Amino acid sequence: MNDLSLYLRTLEERLDPTALFERVVGGPCDPWQRQLLTTSSPFAMCLASRRIGKSQTTGVLAAQTVAAPGRTVLILSPTLSQSQLLFKKVLQAWHAMALPIQKTRLTQQVMELDNGSAVVCVPAGQDGESARGWGVKDGGILIYEEGAFIPDAVYDATLPIREDGGLIRLITTPGRKGGFAHSLWTENDEVEKITARSTELPRMAEKVTFDRRYMPPLQFAVEHELRWVGGGVPFFAPETIENAFTDTPELKLGDFLHA
């Protein structure tokens, strides 16, 4: 295939990340994924259930973004293993595009391309030190993956990485109330908010039914129904406390005095 026919074949995917998503995943994206992949909002936050496709969507978004020249996508995850897993997803989507753009550098965290674009996938650590030195501007994206589990200090230290025209995407399951992610979700009207709840998705019905049956209710509420938790996880789940005070079935003592 020559460069022109390759360019034409990949034109749709260069323009439309949902087309790339469909080819990488083998099925259509959900409405929340479409919104996250296509929004042009400077700051979008997605609150999403476990196993719903957060990392997959991030991988496709990153790969599709760096197909255009001169863009940096910097992805911060809470741990090293999460950032490595995510980087694999980015590479998988990048290779699926099969563009005639060469890598000029490839490490376990960085892919630099000869169109001047780069993807960087690093763990947040306690201070965001590993992200230092990078800048994100003009259509590049700074992505916080599982942002509710990234320390507030990292958010404060890394937000300045975004320069003019750079975009922020924060994708997470719910975490602790009071952290920066919770404040953005509940208090900041400027942030575009995208909700991805597994209990509303037919493709996740089997998993939701299984987890509802076998998971502690509080964990199910957090991981599927998107409930934020207090500073400390309560010792007893609310349902356990409620059941302890229920009056059904009615307690019958009988006439034990005259038995």
Ligand X SMILES: Nc1ncnc2c1ncn2[C@@H]1O[C@H](COP(=O)(O)OP(=O)(O)OP(=O)(O)O)[C@@H](O)[C@H]1O
Contact stretch for ligand X (CB under 6 A) within 22-30, 92-100, 112-120, 162-170: 22-30
* Positions 131 through 150 that interact with Mg ion (CB under 5 A): none
Q: How many Å apart are CA 219 and CA 223, to the nearest integer? A: 6
Pure H helices in the chain: 3-15, 17-25, 31-38, 54-66, 80-97, 152-158, 180-187, 205-214, 217-223, 238-244
Q: How many Å apart are CA 45 and CA 36, to the nearest integer? A: 8
By beta-carbon proximity to ligand X, the closer residue of 78 and 139 is 78
Q: Is 123 in the site for ligand X (CB under 6 A)?
A: no
Residue 146, classified by CB atoms within 10 Å of its CB into exposed (0-12), middle (13-18) or buried (19+), is buried
Min dist CB 96 to ligand X, Å, is: 12
By beta-carbon proximity to ligand X, the closer residue of 33 and 65 is 33
Among 30, 63, 83, 131, binds ligand X (CB under 6 A): 30
* Identity of residue 147: G
Q: Is 34 in the site for ligand X (CB under 6 A)?
A: no
* Positions 54 through 113 that interact with ligand X (CB under 6 A): 54-56
Contact stretch for Mg ion (CB under 5 A) within 54-62, 64-72, 188-196, 209-217: 54-62
By beta-carbon proximity to ligand X, the closer residue of 56 and 130 is 56
By beta-carbon proximity to ligand X, the closer residue of 17 and 166 is 17
What backbone torsions phi and psi does residue 30 show, to the nearest 5 degrees?
-70, 165
Q: Is 25 in the site for ligand X (CB under 6 A)?
A: yes
What backbone torsions phi and psi does residue 12 show, to the nearest 5 degrees?
-60, -45
Q: Is 51 in the site for ligand X (CB under 6 A)?
A: yes
Q: How many Å apart are CA 174 and CA 176, to the nearest integer? A: 7
Q: Is 52 in the site for ligand X (CB under 6 A)?
A: yes
Q: Which distant-in-sequence residues (6+ apart) come within 8 Å of 40 by Cβ?
A: 167
Min dist CB 86 to ligand X, Å, is: 8
Please give the residue ranges that form the binding site for Mg ion (CB under 5 A).
Answer: 54-55
Please give the residue ranges that form the binding site for ligand X (CB under 6 A).
Answer: 25, 27, 29-30, 33, 50-56, 203
